[in-house]
Amino acid sequence: MTSDRHHENVPTDHTGLRVLTFDQCLRRLAECPVGRIAFVLDGEIAVLPVNHTVLGLNVYFRTLGDSKIEAAVNGDRVSFEVDAYNPRAKDGWSVLVHGTAEVVSDREDLRRLEPITREPWVPADSSRMTWIRVRSTAITGRALWGDEGRRSLSASGT
Amino acid sequence: MTSDRHHENVPTDHTGLRVLTFDQCLRRLAECPVGRIAFVLDGEIAVLPVNHTVLGLNVYFRTLGDSKIEAAVNGDRVSFEVDAYNPRAKDGWSVLVHGTAEVVSDREDLRRLEPITREPWVPADSSRMTWIRVRSTAITGRALWGDEGRRSLSASGT
C-alpha cells in the first residue's frame, strides 16, 4: 500500500480498496436506477440487469410472470449488485447485497410498492409482472480511491 | 408484444428483449472497460467489478495474488457480465458469459496478455497480481429496444 492511500479514518480491505459504510452502501443502492440480480440456474450463475427499488433494507424489482428469474429465485440465495465507474478518473465503487429472493404476494406490500415504482424500461402489461423481493442478509461495498480521492487525501496531509 | 416491437429480422426472447448476435456480444464484451465476475464463495454468490481484457473467446482479468477471487474460482463455474444502460432513453443491453475460471500460469499466455493489458485501476505492485482466465462455454446477450429502437422500427414500417 502506498502512503497516499493511508488515512486513519478510512478503513481499507486487504486489497487496498476503501470500505464503504453501511449508510453509504444503502444510499448508493437506492440511488442507482439499475442493478444486477445474480442467481444459480441449472448449475450456472445468471447475472441479469433489472430496474430496482429499495424499501427498508430490501431490494424489489419486477419481472415477467413466466420468467426464468421467478422460477429460479424463490426462497434461494441470491445476490444483488450495483456499481458505477468513471474510466477517465479510474474511479469506481460497488455494493453487493446477499440475501434470499421471494415472490411478493402480500397485498399490503404490493400497495406500499406501487407509489414508489419506477416506470419499467421493458414495455409490458403490468398485470403480467411479478414483484420479487430480495430480503437482504448482508450489504457491503468497496470503492477505489480514484485520482480525486488520492488527490484529496494527499492534500489533507497524509 | 406490441406491434412496433415486431420485426421479422430481429429475434426476441419470450420477454420481448432483442437477442444479440454472437458477434454483437463479443464486440460489446471487448469494448466495455469494466465487467463483473460472479462466483460462488461460501454458499453466497459474489459479484465483483473488474477491468478485463478479451482474447479470442476468453475473458482475462488480474487480481491480487491473495484475493478471494483466486481462491474461489480455480476450476469452478463462473459467469462474467457486462452491460450498459441509458436511463433517459430507457435503453440498455447486457452480455453474459458462462465459463470456468483458472489462474493463468503458462508463460506464453502471460506474454501474449502483457501488450494488450489495460492499466489496472487499483494501484498495486504488478508482481503481486495474478491473471485469471474465464474460459467461455456460452456467450449470450439481450437488449432493450429503447425509445430510439422503437422509433426506428416504427419508421421502417413494421
CA distance A42 to chain B (A): 11
Rounded to whole angstroms, how far apart are CA atoms A85 and A94?
9
Q: How far is CA A94 from the centre of its chain?
A: 8
C-alpha cell at B111: 506474454
The residue among A84, A80, A95 whose CA lies nearest residue A132 is A80
- B94/A49 Cβ within 8 A: yes
Tell me the domains of chain B and their CATH numbers.
18-155 (2.30.110.10)
- Nearest CA distance, A144 vs chain B (angstrom): 7
Chain B closest-CA separation from residue A66 CA (Å)? 9
Looking at residue B135, its pLDDT comes to 95
pLDDT band at B110 (very low <50, low <70, confident <90, very high): confident
**Residues in chain A closer than 8 A to B98 (CB atoms):** 44-45
Q: Does A45 contact B46 at a Cβ distance shorter than 8 Å?
A: no
pLDDT of B93 reads: 95
CB contact (8 A) between residue B123 and residue A17: no
- Whether the CB-CB separation of B134 and B78 falls below 8 Å is answered with yes
Contacting residues for B7 by C-beta, under 8 A, at least 6 apart = B153, B156, B158
Mean pLDDT across the stretch B84-97?
A: 90
Tell me which of A118 and B151 has the higher pLDDT: A118
Cell digits of residue B131: 491473471
Ranges A55-64, A115-124, B98-107: which has the least confidence = A115-124
| Mean of pLDDT values over B70-87 | 87
Cell of B113: 496478455
Q: Is the pLDDT of residue B54 over 90?
A: yes
Mutate to test the interface with B, among A121, A147, A151 (most CBs of B within 10 A): A121
Chain A residues touching B64 at Cβ < 8 A: 14-15
Record the cell numbers describing residue A129, joined without a space: 409482472
Residue of B34, B81, B123 with shortest CB distance to A47? B81
**Averaged pLDDT for residues B93-110:** 92
| A36 vs B contacts (CB less than 8 Å) | 36, 47, 81, 83
| pLDDT at residue A60, rounded to an integer | 94
Which cell is A122 given? Answer: 421493458
Q: How far apart are the first and last CA of chain B?
A: 13
Confidence at A118, pLDDT banded by 50, 70, 90: low
pLDDT band for position A123 (50/70/90)? low
Chain B residues whose CB is inside 8 A of the A124 CB are 15-16
Q: Which member of B47, B67, B78 has the closest CB to residue A81?
A: B47
Rounded to a whole number, what is the distance in Å from the CA of B107 to chain A's nearest CA?
25
pLDDT value for A42: 87
